[in-house]
Structure 1
Amino acid sequence: MSRVRTVLGDLPPEELGVCDAHDHLFFASPRLPGQELDSVPDARTELAAFRELGGRAVVQWTPYGLGRRAGELPALARASGVHLVAATGLHQDVHYAADTLARLAGPALAEVFVAELTEGIGDSGVRAGLVKVAGGFHTLDAHARWTMAAAAEAHHATGAPIAVHLELGTAPLDVLELLCDTLGVPPHRVILGHLNRFPDAQVHRQAAESGCWLAFDGPSRTHHATDWRMPDAVRDLAEAGYGDRLLLGGDTTTAAARSVSGGPGMPHLLRRVAPRLARAVGEETVRHILTANPARAFAAEWR
């Protein structure tokens, strides 16, 4: 039976509710000094604001070694009434110190992922509900191929979905070729993130044809054309018959981007993005993208 693995235990998919399919309550990277998401009160405020607008679930894509604070998540889920899903996995190598990567080098990486999916993250008791990995800009380097091979191994061992950070939305077809064609991961277990940052309709349709999930997650921080083209990209896919493969997320990665700090934060997804998309594709399609789709995308028959 398929279940969504939340920080409070496995959940029937139909109970997930309105879902922010890609966001961060906690995140810390040397690439973003001074912008760490590490405040528990601020995380609580973000969740409360999201809940007030009808949000019921948040999938946190923060992977290994980037300040997940997994031990804080159960209390936040209970206090907010929002289901939370945690992640294992590994981001691009630029987010890690060399000694961290050296410690994980080799085939043992898959064992780390499997342990966090089945036993828990550290001593928190919180089990991850997905594996997050990352590609490069228009390519997959050796680090990406190593982490994706480990993610595929973890998927085959547990059934976990694999979520992929696409650098500026690029190389989705390379990711699918590696994960699905070479490593044998079923396309419906793969979630491609940040497609809004590279709004190429032909590439989007090619990816959708595989049966994978396509996530449009996070407003542009520099008002790129990707922001105003996003509704058209979603409409194009929905009209082509792929509305049941789409996901939406907020992807808050810095303290300044939180609503409590004056940024868009988690509430932006339901306050501004969803109504804007409804004008392009209709309210029913948006409801489906926010509820039925994530319920299927993040559910797994856990082994």
Structure 2
Amino acid sequence: MSAVRTVLGDLAPTDLGICDAHDHLFLTSPQLPGQELDSTDLAAQELAAFHGAGGESVIQWTPHGMGRHASELPGLSRATGVHIVAATGLHQAPNYAPELLTRLRAEGLARVFVRELTEGIGGTSVRAGMIKVAGGFHGLDAHARWTMESAAEAHRATGAPIAVHLELGTGALDVLDLLCGELGVPSGKVILGHLNRSPDLTAHREAAQAGSYLAFDGPSRSHHATDWRMPEAVQALAEAGFAGRLLLGGDTTTAGARAVNGGPGMPYLLRRVRPRLELAVGKAVVEQMLTVNPGQAFAVEWE
């Protein structure tokens, strides 16, 4: 049966409802000192605010070793009524201590991914529903190739979709060349994140033509011009016939960005981004981006 694997079990793709296709309830990294998302109470408040704005599901892209708090996710889902999908995977190398990466190499990274997809995360029974990896700035270093090769192996074993952090929105075609070209992952199982951060309409169209999903997530913290160019990029893709490949997310990665701390947070996606996009492409396309497309992008034929 085709289903989206949430932290409370498998869900029909059509039952996700209004979905934030890329966000974080928990996230810690040495790259973001003092901005950790590590409070269960604040995560609950943020999730409740998202639900209050009409949100019904969240795909948490936080990967292995970055403070996922997997054991807390089922309770948060039950308490707020919001479906949550957890991730396995690995981010860029600077997010980790070298000894952790050494251990993962010895253990076998693909084996770790498969275990978290099929058995549970960190000794819990909470299973991941997707794999998150990361590219580099306009290219792929050895770490990115290792993680993507491992993700491809885990995908072949489980069918799980692979979501990719594109550094500042760049390198989409290099990622597809590796994952889909060299490694044989079906393009429809690849979600490319942060396309709004590099409004290269030609690259966007080529990625959509290849068959991957394109996630527009933000708002940006440092490249503000990309926010007002994002509707233009979405409109160009929709008019070219690719409305069915587009996703929307909030990508809240710092404590200061949370709505409960005065930032835009998860509700911003529905409070501000949705109406702005509706002006560009109409309500029907935006509704498709928030409901139908996420169910298709994150669905898997789980055993």
Quick check: 2:70–2:121 contact (8 Å CA) kept in 1? Answer: yes
Structure 1 173/107 Cα, relative in aligned 2: closer, same or farther at 3 Å? farther
Instruction: Note if contact 2:17-2:56 (Cα within 8 Å) is conserved in structure 1.
Output: yes
**1:167-182 → structure 2 map (5 Å cutoff):** 167-182=167-182
What is the alpha-carbon distance in structure 2 between the residues aligned to residue 122 and residue 60 of structure 1? 16
* C-alpha distance in structure 2 between counterparts of 1:135 and 1:63, whole Å: 14
Partners of 2:125 and 2:272 lie apart in 1 by: 36
Question: Secondary structure at the residue paired with 1:291?
Answer: helix
Letter in 2 for 1:4: V
Pair 1:41-2:63 in alignment: no
State the AA in 2 paired with 1:202.
Answer: T
Report if aligned partners of 1:55, 1:82 keep a CA contact under 8 Å in 2: yes
1:103-122 to 2 correspondences below 5 Å: 103-105=103-105, 108-122=108-122
Partners of 2:197 and 2:223 within 8 A in 1: no
After superposition, the C-alpha distances for 1:63-95 in whole angstroms (9 at most, x for unaligned) are 000000000000000000000000000000010
Which residue number corresponds to residue 249 of structure 2? 249
Q: CA deviation at 1:128?
A: 0.1
Matched, 1:156 2:156: yes
CA gap of 1:149–1:107, structure 2 versus 1, over 3 A, is farther
Q: Does 1:75 align with 2:75?
A: yes
Secondary structure, aligned partner of 1:226: helix
Aligned to 1:239: 239
Q: Amino acid of the residue matched to residue 205 of structure 2?
A: R
Structure 1 counterpart of 2:285: 285
Tell me, in whole angstroms, the C-alpha distance in 2 between the residues paired with 1:64 and 1:166.
18
Percent identity, aligned pairs only, is 70
Name stretches of at least 5 consecutive residues in structure 1 with no aligned partner.
none
Q: Does 1:197 align with 2:205?
A: no
CA contact (8 A) 2:19 2:291 kept: yes
| Structure 2 stretches lacking a partner, 5+ long | none
Offset at residue 222 of structure 1 (A) = 2.8
Query: Where does 1:7-86 land on structure 2 (aligned, <5 Å)?
Result: 7-86=7-86
How far the C-alpha of 1:41 sits from its partner, in A, is 0.9
Write out the 4+ residue segments of structure 1 that deviate beyond 3 Å after TM superposition.
Answer: none
Q: AA paired with 2:43?
A: A
Counterpart amino acid of residue 87 in structure 2: A
Which amino acid in the other structure matches residue 145 of structure 2? R
The size of the alignment, in residue pairs, is 303
